[in-house]
Structure 1
Amino acid sequence: MSEWPTVRFEEILSSPLRNGVSYPSKMRGQGVPMVNMREIFAYDIIRDQECELVPLKERELENFLLAQGDLLFARQSLTYEGAGRCVLVAASEGPRTWESHLIRARISRELADPRFIYYYFRSANGRRNIETIINQVAAAGIRSSDLKELQVPVPPLSEQEDISALLGALDDKIAVNERIATTSRELGLALFAQAVAEDGAMEVDIDSVSCALTRGIAPKYSESPDDLVVLNQKCIRGGRVSLTPARRTLRDKVKEPKLLVRNDVLVNSTGVGTLGRVACWNYDEAATVDSHITIVRFDETQLDPVCAGFAMLRAQPEIEAMGEGSTGQTELRRTQLGELEIFLPSKEKQHELRPKLDSLEARADQALSESQTLATLRDTLLSQLMSGRLRVKDAEKIVEDAT
């Protein structure tokens, strides 16, 4: 086990912990990008994601701008992840601030390596430490007064830097792969848009060109790895499906139309903030979805399903606006989705475009698959390095052998 000394978190800060800025919605839309809870729970490292803009006041510029190496902690929990989640702020092309539901920690680089402290709070030990200060009286949350008192490990600075460099190299490679996937999808959408703009484009409603349009199942969850994968709305993000948040369900009563087929389009159909997100199912694994997701299966005798999937990705803003109901209970009815009109290139153009889209998607899938492998390796090494069970030189050999 590690014999690293520990200190109070406050002792390695270069300035006091600080909550972010608060602006009414009516004042937003111009000014400085503001990192909020959405980014905190969607990303591990805050880079140059698109953020809501706020008109930061002149007197706030000195104290409320983020810097590379800052840590941000979520003061409150969301339904799918707890309070105290920690993310790292990377270098940015311009100024950014953070919202009042987040706590900023600025590490003194003479005392600790910011990336090492970030990885500590991502580790199992760091998370358990955070959990000791979560206040469960009302909405789960943490306070700056409690966060600053946490004991954190401080090995020699050189060792901190070696550990963060090793883990950071894996994260940097993951980020490169994510950019490859994003660029591939953007190129595919650009090719699709160009083809639609040419003569002979088709306008069709989804119901008339689909052979299945159905909500998923009410799962009977199982812990057995032999049971059927069931996706939930957390699995659909950024136009793609992630199996990481998926669970398992008993498969005996899942009817055939609700078993996913390659090139099915999945649409989140419940709740503000999640409703309308679209993804294409590109796996060959047996799976289904829960009742909060709608499956759209296109009739291949009428159109190319990959092209139709891109048409729905382009229509996502329109789909997001189709929800009905009160806040938090918004629903997208199957019949509503069926009435949605999408635009596709002519059948000849679809046939010509399909191989190009397949090639770009395959490139993205390969990059994301490699990222998943690297993330698993990183998390395994993270736990062992932070506990002191593994030294950097041994971890470097493991990474070399694996990559």
Structure 2
Amino acid sequence: MSGWPIVELGGLAVFRNGLNYSSADAGVGLAVVGVSDFKDNSFVDFASLDELAPSALATEDALVRRDDILFVRSNGNRELIGRSLLVSHDPPKPTSHSGFTIRLRFHDHRADPRFFAYLLRGGTVRRHLSSQGGGTSINNLNQGILSRMEVPLPPLETQRRIASILGAYDDLIEVNRRRVAVLEEMARGLFEEWFVRFRFPGHETAPLVDTTDGSLPAGWRNGTLGDLVDFRRDGTQPGEHLQGRAYVPIECIGRRTLVLDEVRPWQDAQSSLQLFEKGDILFGAMRAYFHKVAPAPLAGVTRSTCFVLRPREPQFAAYALMQLFQDDTVAYAAAHSKGSTIPYAQWGGVLERMSCAVPDLGLAEKFQAAVQPMIDLLEAIWACNHRLAASRDLLLPRLISGQLSVEVAECELQEAA
């Protein structure tokens, strides 16, 4: 072991539960970090937060600030309890956190928040929760449990060096996320240029033909989403036969992005399961307005809260994906959903009949040739980020235990760079 002193977390920091609010607090002006924002992230992503009316804030003390750490306190999915996020920089607008989360704020200057953010993201919280539950998981995290948690307290300079090493991995992950955003914008822009504004290659000489649904370029036709994709329902049961597949429930699909937030081990797949294959399109049917649409980068299993859609023709795969990813498609799915408390999109006879323009085969093939390499690169970057995150998380316990010295880790990082 490292020989560092062990202290209780409550001796270094204070804790506060988050805001309780209702639909009456709907509005804009106060950003809120909710459980859905944790995912597998290290830091709060302020750009993706939901908002409330400023009147929902009862006290200024409920706001978060730089160097706070947030924990999931309570959730129906026990695996999410104890996940944490660091507020890595000053919030761009007033920001609070939901009542299902707990805020940690350090008052002891011997603690470096970034170091403890990495420490608490590892197995430390999960192991402590298990010990509090007599060896099993517990359903709620509370301030008392966090306060009694024993943590190592290295010298401040050592904390900062460890945080810097681990932060280098997160820096690479962030660079890759920006590359993802650029590629997604390119794919969206090309789709809209060709198929919304009709500025496709050769459009200057392509005549427009009047149809019952408006003018279309010659060779195109009016169709439906059902013409582009098959609705799959390959139901399955939990078990060993799922080995080699990833588990991707709806909460693992990011909002308005073509890459998954995370994948889970097949052992987590327990109920209402359906299979999907690489290249299928996952469409979040539960609360469709969250805009969860992504191509599957690998074979896996999801739940019935997602549609599994398979392109009918390989030449139209990229076109089908981007058509499903359009805001208009998601809005249509949301507007025609059923259920007031938890609305679900409907495929049969509803979303499958949403009208869309279907280009001629030649243009679809050109779009496929232009966009499929972008999708392939998105999937490669996604896989790279998961490897980086795994390497980062494996490095932490080796540094904490003393199995790997900070000096050696710094040298290895320099060589890798």
Q: TM-score range by the shorter chain?
A: 0.7 to 0.9
CA distance in 2, matches of 1:47, 1:147: 24
Distance 1:230 1:24, change over 3 A: closer
Which residue in the other structure is 1:361 paired with?
Answer: 375
Amino acid of the structure 2 residue aligned with 1:127: R
For the pair 1:205 / 2:203, whether they are aligned, the reply is no
What SS does the aligned partner of 1:31 have?
Answer: strand
What SS does the aligned partner of 2:188 have?
Answer: helix
Q: Deviations over 1:237-295 (max 9, x none)?
A: 3433467315279xxxxx9xx763x54322344x4579973221345xxx354562433
CA distance in 2, matches of 1:152, 1:139: 20
Which residue in the other structure is 1:252 paired with?
Answer: none
Q: Is the 8 A contact 2:232 2:308 kept in 1?
A: yes
For the pair 1:222 / 2:240, whether they are aligned, the reply is yes
Distance 1:138 1:382, change over 3 A: closer
The CA deviation at 1:26 is 2.1
What SS does the aligned partner of 2:231 have?
Answer: strand
Which residue in the other structure is 2:281 paired with?
Answer: 265
Which residue in the other structure is 1:370 paired with?
Answer: 384
Deviates more, 1:49-58 or 1:32-41: 49-58
What percentage of residue pairs aligned between the two structures are identical?
Answer: 23
Which residue in the other structure is 1:280 paired with?
Answer: 295
Which residue in the other structure is 1:181 paired with?
Answer: 180
Which residue in the other structure is 2:320 paired with?
Answer: 308
Which residue in the other structure is 2:201 paired with?
Answer: none
Which residue in the other structure is 1:142 paired with?
Answer: 141
Q: Is the 8 A contact 1:72 1:102 kept in 2?
A: yes
Which residue in the other structure is 1:298 paired with?
Answer: 311
Which residue in the other structure is 2:2 paired with?
Answer: 2
Distance 1:334 1:132, change over 3 A: farther
What SS does the aligned partner of 2:333 have?
Answer: helix
Distance 1:228 1:117, change over 3 A: closer
Amino acid of the structure 1 residue aligned with 2:3: E
CA distance in 1, matches of 2:241, 2:183: 35
The CA deviation at 1:327 is 4.2
Query: Which of 21, 25, 28 does residue 27 from structure 1 map onto?
Result: 25
RMSD between aligned residues: 3.5
Q: Deviations over 1:182-220 (max 9, x none)?
A: 22112211221122223437542122344x322122134
Q: Is the 8 A contact 1:86 1:121 kept in 2?
A: yes
Deviates more, 1:178-187 or 1:342-351: 342-351
TM-score, with structure 2 as normaliser: 0.80
Deviates more, 1:354-363 or 1:161-170: 354-363
Which residue in the other structure is 1:38 paired with?
Answer: 36
Query: Which of 385, 397, 402 does residue 399 from structure 2 map onto?
Result: 385
TM-score, with structure 1 as normaliser: 0.82
Structure 2: state its 5+ residue gaps.
199-216, 269-273
Which residue in the other structure is 2:413 paired with?
Answer: 399
Q: Is the 8 A contact 1:308 1:344 kept in 2?
A: no
Deviates more, 1:271-280 or 1:153-162: 271-280
Q: Is the 8 A contact 2:247 2:263 kept in 1?
A: no
Q: Is the 8 A contact 1:229 1:248 kept in 2?
A: no
Which residue in the other structure is 1:151 paired with?
Answer: 150
